[in-house]
Chain A
Amino acid sequence: MKTTTEQRQHWMSVLAKAPPETLLGLSEDAIKDIHFDIIRAPEVGLTQVRARMGNRGERFNLGDMTLTRCVVRSSLNTVGHSYIAGRDKTHALRAAQLDALLQDPQMGEVLMERVVQPIESMLADARASKQRETDATRVDFFTLVRGED
């Protein structure tokens, strides 16, 4: 089964948002027997962040953010890319390696189950707990009605 662009976009997004230690821990075993050629060693640079006036109008430049990118080729002959916010080269290298392996049908299935899905549910939990904290500060307005019981 060939992976679709949507599937790849999805795992790349999860790998980018993963807490680095968790990502490294979960994927250590999976990659240790595979050889990778470094095509573009992890390098740190900037991305200009753009926004829109009123979120609908003309675009403007908000400022830069740091970004680390990396490209590798696996011994399964797949090429993996990573583009990760921040300056963590280990994170970028591992994400590129995983992107390469996730494109291989057999490896891909295993890695989705062992790495991508656990991270995804961790991120969802973190989001939900933050959401609960936020919801506790939601204002409930009372409308005071006079002359009624």
Chain B
Amino acid sequence: MYVAVKGGEKAIRSAHELLARRRRGRQDVPELEVSQVEEQLSLAVDRVMTEGSVYDRELAALAIKQAAGDLVEAIFLLRAYRTTLNRFYSSEPIDTDAMEVERRISATYKDLPGGQVLGPTFDYTHRLLDFALLAEGEVEASNTEAVEARVDEAMARVSQLLEREGLMVNEADSGAEPADITREPPTYPCDRSARMQALVRGDEGFLLALGYSTQRGYGRNHPFAGEIRIGEVGVSIVPEELGFEVEIGAIQVSECEMVNGFTRLEGGEVKFTRGYGLGFGQCERKVMAMALVDRALQAAEYDEEIKSPAQQEEFVLSHCDNVEAAGFVSHLKLPHYVDFQSELELIRRIRTADAADNEEDRS
């Protein structure tokens, strides 16, 4: 229990002023512009948008600047701002088949329609610090060889190829209205749509660790990265006053479809199972982790023994949100003076009693 205390207003004001000065840093270094964060720290922006649950690059960049680069704090700021806006619409489901692909790889098929496209990736870099970036100067203009215009080959979906052969469980739409955990907190066991929404908002580090734990044997699900895609998709709504679909713009998303270990289904057929990950911007590590955890959380549907953390729905979903987690851990900083006084009194009383007992034993 904590109690309200008064006073300290002046100290608080000074602390905030000091924070602003520290955030600004040395005056002889130019101030960082929000557009620079947006353009040059774009992967931080993507993470803040995904976990902050608002796709708006400028707002996410502003939050990062204000939080002095503390991404969990920036996510908190964006979530708080989100609550000040009305939600006008729910979009039609985005279509990642129609994505303008910037990256598309598959670890399950070498040759597949549409090919493998690496895009802007850290993969295959040597992870050596590039001291050229320390020196000021422009990135040299593209020296990429001219690429021949390629035949526009449709990018077939790996999961579709497997589904068509009957080798993988189908994803089908029952028409059920998806859960919205921002309106109604999940109750357990919950719908997979609630799980997906929670996982998108979930902390990347937490989900990465859980996904990793399944690979190390805590709820193994034998994953293959069937397909990873990054690119832009259009977003459409159907405003009531118009009654037809209108495209409002495009957003960049990352998508991961895991092909997981096969199992014998109720009907007797053997099929691969699957996990799905999706997030705003370029967030490949996040969507891979999400797909692993999504599959782990389907344990009950496949009659698998639930014994590892990643398979426990309530454990995963109620601890994956870093705004909630940070809030509850941070509350320990609030005054607990009265609480602690009573603990102090108690421990002193016990120790005095113990001392008296020892005295008696000796005599």
> Is chain B found bound to chain A in the same assembly?
yes
* A residues apposed to B, CB below 8 Å: 5, 8-9, 12-13, 16-17, 44-67, 69, 71, 81, 83-87, 127, 130-139, 141
B306 contacts the other chain (Cβ, under 8 Å)?
Answer: no
Assuming the A-B contacts A9-B246, A85-B235, are A48 and B180 also in contact, with contact meaning beta carbons closer than 8 angstroms in the complex? yes
Assuming the A-B contacts A62-B197, A64-B54, A134-B101, are A50 and B87 also in contact, with contact meaning beta carbons closer than 8 angstroms in the complex? no
B167 contacts the other chain (Cβ, under 8 Å)?
Answer: no
Indicate if the CB atoms of A65 and B96 lie closer than 8 Å: no
The A-B contact count (CB < 8 A) is: 212
Contact pick for A55, options B49, B58, B96, CB 8 Å:
B96
CA separation between A81 and B235, bound complex, in Å?
A: 17
Indicate if the CB atoms of A63 and B54 lie closer than 8 Å: yes
Indicate if the CB atoms of B90 and A47 lie closer than 8 Å: yes
A99 to chain B, nearest CB (A): 10
Indicate if the CB atoms of A9 and B50 lie closer than 8 Å: no
Indicate if the CB atoms of B145 and A136 lie closer than 8 Å: yes
Assuming the A-B contacts A61-B197, A84-B248, A139-B117, are A56 and B239 also in contact, with contact meaning beta carbons closer than 8 angstroms in the complex? no
Assuming the A-B contacts A48-B87, A87-B56, are A138 and B173 also in contact, with contact meaning beta carbons closer than 8 angstroms in the complex? no
Indicate if the CB atoms of A50 and B94 lie closer than 8 Å: yes
Contacts of B120 in A (CB 8 A): 137
B131 contacts the other chain (Cβ, under 8 Å)?
Answer: no
Can you spell out 22 A-B residue pairs with CB atoms less than 8 angstroms apart? A45-B86, A47-B235, A48-B89, A48-B90, A48-B91, A51-B253, A55-B97, A56-B173, A57-B173, A59-B193, A60-B179, A61-B90, A64-B55, A65-B54, A65-B56, A67-B237, A81-B246, A83-B237, A127-B100, A133-B142, A137-B117, A138-B150
The 7 closest A-B pairs by CB, nearest first: A85-B249, A57-B171, A54-B171, A65-B55, A13-B247, A60-B193, A60-B196
Indicate if the CB atoms of A55 and B246 lie closer than 8 Å: no
A144 to chain B, nearest CB (A): 13
CA separation between A69 and B247, bound complex, in Å?
A: 12
Contacts of B197 in A (CB 8 A): 60-62
CA separation between A116 and B339, bound complex, in Å?
A: 67
CA separation between A85 and B56, bound complex, in Å?
A: 9
Contacts of A59 in B (CB 8 A): 93, 173, 176-178, 193
CA separation between A60 and B174, bound complex, in Å?
A: 12
Contact pick for B276, options A16, A54, A71, A133, CB 8 Å:
A54
Indicate if the CB atoms of A16 and B242 lie closer than 8 Å: no
CA separation between A130 and B171, bound complex, in Å?
A: 32
| Residue of B101, B179, B276 with most chain A CB atoms under a 10 A cut-off | B276
Stretch at the interface among B10-18, B108-116, B215-223, B314-322: B108-116
Contact pick for B249, options A5, A16, A55, A56, CB 8 Å:
A16
Contacts of A9 in B (CB 8 A): 244-247
Contacts of A17 in B (CB 8 A): 247, 249-250
Contact pick for B91, options A47, A84, A127, A139, CB 8 Å:
A47
CA separation between A44 and B54, bound complex, in Å?
A: 13
